Chain A
């Protein structure tokens, strides 16, 4: 880069950094400092207090929660460099990004790629402002790993479709305003008979029942559709294009499950530091149980390479564009390591790491137990580990190319 150009870039970056700092000073309330919004409205009900609402509106109004999305649809219209500045400056003062959820992580990027102009203008701005919660209508009782076996059917009624069927594992379905779903419009072709549609969750005929999980929580639902009317303009892409669009969305999902802040957040404290609180250490500060120490080091080394892999995927996607083929590897490796970590945490804490409830257990201990149980889902949802292996073998390694 010529020196002149380089210094121009630096000047404009410095100016932007100043702008972000001023924005934070004016808009970010101290009382929200350090409060998490890890799932950004994915898992919880809408229980926003006025202070949180004001913060969401401040960030959403500028499009800074979705900084790289186009400005004409409510995004920030910023460069990736500027987005990183926002991320850094927010982190520095303990501010969270109040704009999130499935609309940001999965649906938005997919609609920006496949939606028509009217759909983008209608659906993207509310996502950028954090006003609308989206849920995912993908899995069905008989369409889990074999997702394309889905049977929920949309009949063409001229100006609208009439949808009947059942979806399951609808994350946050009980709190969602809208659902992006893949449904069948043609029974004669497994993959080409699938279409991608947008359904209002408050439309007549939509019924949602939360499912209680082994962790004791109910983040997933069963969703029933009985003669639900969906206007024709809610079809994304063409009829029969749903499998292609739906798979694209899954790439975003995989990258988010593994590479996003979620897992990194869950992995907060070093296992070694936690172990030093629960287990005996010698004079040199090292854990006395060398077998346990070895297990911890082994996991943390692999976890570090995973973080490096996630970072590399981001770097590569910047130069190559789009979501990289590495997303299946990230999902497969990240979820497995997270599970291994939860199991090791139990070994480190002993019975104290298996508490279900009670004041004798710390909040972190109880949260980790629920996380351990809930985490078992991570290698199943978003395409199970076995499905990821199939994808890697087929799409990346070309092991079926000769057929």
Chain B
């Protein structure tokens, strides 16, 4: 765990407390059972906004607390531990795009609404099955945006989209010319393909040529923070299980083969935490962000992949049942691994950033 300020400690403890008490995995089960397309509890999201969590990266002048990405990551990590379904990450990513590229007017109009929870927003970049920001066809003409976006997170709850077009990022409100096709993925959260047919769009003029890349890096570190919480939760649950389950008249934790596997996973988790926290800190410092974010998400992908698989294996048969939570983490893990860059995408990017 990174060395935290007093405010950050308080924030993390508050988030941990809330997630444990108000939003355990049983709450996600309720959301799933309700079968609503937006796939989150609106009251719970309102409570998060009330506690100031949506505004963590938003300046005080626009209704936020300006605590930065490491602080946002602390909250996201705690929510990831209990698989809390909410558009917090999506909205924070969208807010970062407006912060980086928006005019004073756009910031004043949207950031307070995002911070208060009134407006849910999300980033729409991909047009195909993989992360590929270099292959964008969506275009804008005369303030009208046309194109197709695929697998957009939290699309159902969102009323504002930050859309990547050929020549930059645009704000598009849900309404005329915006139609959703639900895509049900393994995590049973909100995803949709979106058809934009001449939808009214307003460009984010600031942020320079690197705006989309910069926003994607922020998406990477925040998703990595959620993944860190998930990996930690699966690890802890699995360790508890190994200490209880008896076979051959002894608890599983006494088997050295399992001890060493857990030691390996613990080392991986330690590495993941270092990489993710450093990614969040890099965004706050503004130094070496692309590289740090790539490392953070690449390590998050690698380690969560391993831990989510071992979580099932070490639970044995009951890990395969819907009654146990460990499978939910596996199903969310792969969706996040595919988001904003798979492992192979990120390794390629790292090599490019390093000049080979």
Contacts and interface: CB of A to CB of B under 8 A. Distances in A.
Contact of B243 (A287, A318, A399): A399
A302 interface: yes
Contacts of A397: 239, 259, 262-263, 266
Interface in A377-403: 386, 388-390, 392-394, 396-403
18 contacts: A293-B356, A294-B347, A297-B347, A298-B347, A301-B298, A304-B275, A304-B295, A305-B275, A306-B271, A308-B275, A308-B277, A312-B274, A318-B3, A326-B270, A389-B264, A394-B259, A399-B254, A400-B254
By size class, the interface of chain B is 35 or more
B242 interface: yes
Given A301-B299, A301-B350, A400-B253, 6 more contacts: A297-B350, A305-B274, A305-B299, A308-B275, A309-B270, A402-B251
Interface stretch (A15-23, A45-53, A127-135, A271-279): A271-279
Contacts of B21: none
Contacts of A298: 347
- Which DSSP category, helix, strand, loop or mixed, fits chain B's interface? helix
A208 interface: no
Contact of A276 (B242, B264, B270, B356): B356
Interface string A261-279: 0000000001011011000
A386 B356 CA distance: 35
Interface residues of A, number: 47
A20 B72 CA distance: 39
Contacts of B253: 393, 399-400, 402
Interface of B: 1-3, 239, 242-243, 251, 253-254, 256, 258-260, 262-264, 266-267, 270-275, 277-278, 294-295, 298-299, 302, 344, 346-348, 350-352, 354-356
Interface of A: 270, 272-273, 275-276, 281, 285-287, 293-294, 296-298, 300-302, 304-306, 308-309, 311-312, 315-316, 318-319, 326, 329, 332-333, 386, 388-390, 392-394, 396-403
**3 smallest beta-carbon distances between A and B, as pairs:** A272-B356, A393-B259, A308-B274
A393 B262 contact: yes
A348 to B, nearest CB: 11
A309 B271 contact: yes
Contact of B356 (A296, A389, A400): A296
B267 A386 contact: no
Contacts of B275: 304-305, 308
Nearest to A326: B270
B266 A315 contact: no
Nearest to B349: A297
